Structure 1
Amino acid sequence: MSNAQWQKITERFREGISGGEFLPGDRLPSDARLAEEYGVSRPTAHRALAELARLGLVERTKRGTVVCGPLAKATGRVAFIVDHTADRYDFPSAELIRGMQCGLGDDRHLLLCDSGDSAERERRLIQEMAEECDGVFLVPIGTEENADLYRNPPGPTVILDRIPEGATAHAVLSDNRDATARAVRELQSYGHRNIAFLGFYKPQNPTVAERHAGYRDALGDDRPELTRFLSPDLEQEGGARFRQAVEDALVNLVKGAEGATAVFCVQDMIALAAIDVCDALGWTVGVDLDISVFNEWPPALLRQPWRVHRLVPQRSEIGRQAAERLTALIQSIASEPRISRVPVQLLTVDRFLSESKGGISEIHANL
């Protein structure tokens, strides 16, 4: 039985309930009876009734599937739950929020909620906002404690930024893997054979895993993999210890004739530290060492962004697509949960601005 057939059964009863054919308190046919009437399997019939329950139209009780009372009036609010906020780094992005509001239209307004990287607070917000708002945008912490809510959110929900392992909700994300592969191939087009990958060690973080997979896709079988993962504790700590870890990693990666001549940084924090290290060691970024980064901070924080290859997420488009998806869910237009990946813009270094004396070969000779 195809998905379209169980959806037809769901739509038949949804229209009957909204049109008054089935009234609050009425019992719908059992799974077995429904399967017999429509000539489908019992699992297909169960799926159709389960979808009606998810939409809040019926309740599965001991005495059967019962039509619920009138649905609550739309609130006109949509919650945007983020794992944290950071004004300096424009998170959540104003461009993303503009895209969301454009997609939602004038009838719905965003309510920003900060979970503060607390699994307990995130859980409470997801549950409360499902009751108080028409729908939810969620940037998840990704904690195991809330895996059940990622898999089965209590109301219309669209996940952004990263999709936790096992989550089955709708999601709109940047195309991390393909974008990273394009960035690394761009470095190869400049003549770089040995390209390093520098990130934090986060085996459970799908974003890091996708970007590393894209790096490996671009290398193929004939190029060496030069990967260094830093301790995730350094991301929270920052400061001198973090900068020293980046310096140690870079010096070791570029050492020798087979050392790296370019590095892909998985995020801005690492790229900025790499730029500082290059300045301290007398290396010229874009000449002595090429740097490519997934650029999610305001570019000015990289000081001289024109010297760095940057992958720039299309936040406005992500917001618009997410809002359109959420609106469809709120309107009970049933569909299978799916992940949409939005292409990322690649901005490359202007070689004219990067000319200077010395170069990569000179650095390698001195290490």
Structure 2
Amino acid sequence: MTDTPRTSGLSRPITAGVVTALVGVTSSFAVVLTGLRAVGATPAQAASGLLALCVTMGLAAIVLAWRYRMPITVAWSTPGAALLAATGAIEGGWPAAVGAFLVVAGLILLTAVWPHLGRLIARIPPSIAQAMLAGVLLPLCLAPVGGLVANPWGVAPVIVTWLVFARLSPRWAVPLAFVAASVVVSVHLISTGVPLDPAVLVPRVEFTAPVFTFGALVGIALPLFLVTMASQNVPGVAIMRSYGYEVPWRPAMFVTGIGSALSAPAGGHVINLAAISAALAAAPEADPDPQRRWVASISAGVSGIVLGAMSAAFVALVLLAPEGVIPAVAGIALFAAFGSSIQQAIDDPGERLPAVVTFLVAASGVAILGVSAAFWALVAGLIVRAVLHFRR
């Protein structure tokens, strides 16, 4: 009888953890699959990558929360996946992309053992880093518009569902838009009579031997590392601090770096500290007692691993969806990140012009010498800023 109140008290953070995992996975898995497919992954390799990410980020959250008794949650890099989608195919194909993922993992580990690297990243003006991210996100955020024109009957239910719940329950707006997309896909399959092989729903791991190329290093690894640090890890620490938790930086980078290295050969691009979804486990809504909120992160980790078993089903949903439906879900999922990036990019009038140049180059999608637009956007923005601020 003495354990009943304690067990009852833990039900709240456990539920918060389940919600954290559900919201995190269902609101952005389409972006991850879009990014992996864009850089050359087959459907099976993309499903393997999604599974690897779910498992490693779940284990990383469990390890960090258990060790430090803090509601530290770990997620995949949604902005990083958007970067992959904007980058597209590279020389060397999917093996080169896997090699780039391993380089990113190595850089995160280097940040853990050599904090000066983190300080170097912090010296990049936030306006330019955020402008680059906004430029990368723009094409994906336009997908719902194009999809609505191309397939209004399929995309309109997704957009209407998102809009209604953005007003009623913003936390669930994107996951419920995904539910609406699932209904649209189901109706499409029934009406067309397309058979579904149950074998495609079984999750599998597919390993890829990495290949290291200069184009993938400069065009994927460096921008992906920068985006992950600037839009995930650093904000994640700040959000946790706002709730009274001081995240142990080195251990967090070490655990997420190891997790990224383990998931890379299976197709995972990178895992990092959660930013937006971090508040779901760390806020008072998870539990009035700050000392018990770490249970929410344990629950989120376990739930994330369970959701990984649905990776193949998610890929099947994407492949069978009618035109424009899944890109619309991916675009809607990035609206908030795009708005935040734009705001931070142009917030300082003195940094606005370099940020605009950075944004336009990144949004252009141009690739020079086999290197993606994200890298050239950083170069262009830093050059413009250096000229404008010379001798100031």
Give the TM interval when normalised to the shorter protein.
Answer: under 0.3
- Compare the two structures and name the one with the higher strand fraction: 1
Q: Which has the higher contact order (CA 8 A, sep 6+)?
A: 2
Which structure shows the bigger proportion of residues in helix conformation?
2
Q: Which has the larger radius of gyration?
A: 1
Q: What is the TM-score normalised by the length of structure 1?
A: 0.23
Q: With structure 2 as the length reference, what TM-score do the two structures score?
A: 0.22
